[in-house]
Amino acid sequence: METKVLKFIDIHCHYDDLSLNKLKSDFDSKKQISVTASVSFNSYKKLETIEKEKIPGLYFAYGLYPDVILNYSLKECLTQIDKIDFSKAIAVGEIGLDYKITKDLEKRKEELVVFEKQLEIAEKLNLPAIIHTRYATKKTLDVLTTTKHNKIILHWFDGNAEEIKTALDRGYYLTQRFAKPLIPDIKEHLDNIFIETDYPVPYSDAPIKIKDIEKSYEVFCNTYNLEKEFVKEKIQNNFLNLFPNINI
């Protein structure tokens, strides 16, 4: 009987500023799978260059982060979205709302337009959407009721208990970064959980490495008292359910 290969899956990270040499030396295709997301048109172009290298186990999510609206006009943001080749991505992201960064009410309206346009693309292409929400959890959940698309990954979703329950009841996926944010009764919801690093964002005020997805799994398992191989299999099954065309 063939032994099932279990890998560490980093559902959300950012490799756009890495050199190809650094990425190829640090990324271990035999042990991990990563989905690296863009946050701007410039980072999308960098990831597009990396994508051409066809590194095994490395996949791409393309989209514009909420704060692009602070650097460009709404028209410019929509034009940038039109220039993104989503056909080479397995997900649309990192997209969403951020009311901590975007404080101006008019800019928030524009941020919403950018978010909704990218949600429409995700639904049209049947691609999962990787969503950032900060200080805007209720608004984000409200926006998601306007789409029939349910392939939703809420990256580092810091909602309250009721908002977490709402998201899980809708079948959305929630991510864990070094076992945070804490999710009540998480053992009952492992079919809707992913693990991430959000590389290169520091962990405990210390720089992290690409391979620290293993540490993120370890912290998760220790925090929730779960066996690592069991968790690896659960997360891998979730990944294959969401991305059935990917062979591991």
Question: CATH classification of 8-242, choosing from 3.20.20.140, 3.40.309.10, 3.30.565.10, 3.40.640.10?
Answer: 3.20.20.140
pLDDT at position 1 is 43
Which parts of the chain sit beneath pLDDT 50? 1
The string of pLDDT tens digits covering residues 209-223 is: 999 999 999 999 999
Please report the pLDDT score of residue 134 as a whole number.
Answer: 96
Note the pLDDT of residue 53: 96
The 10 Å Cβ neighbour count of residue 67 is 16
Beta-strand runs (E) in the chain: 8-13, 32-37, 58-62, 91-98, 129-134, 152-155, 173-177, 193-196
pLDDT at 212: 98
Strands 152-155 and 193-196: unpaired
pLDDT value for 248: 86
155-207 confidence digits (pLDDT tens): 999 999 999 999 999 999 999 999 999 999 999 999 999 999 999 999 999 99
- Total-model pTM: 0.96
State residue 90's pLDDT score.
98
What kind and span of H or E run contains 216?
helix 213-224
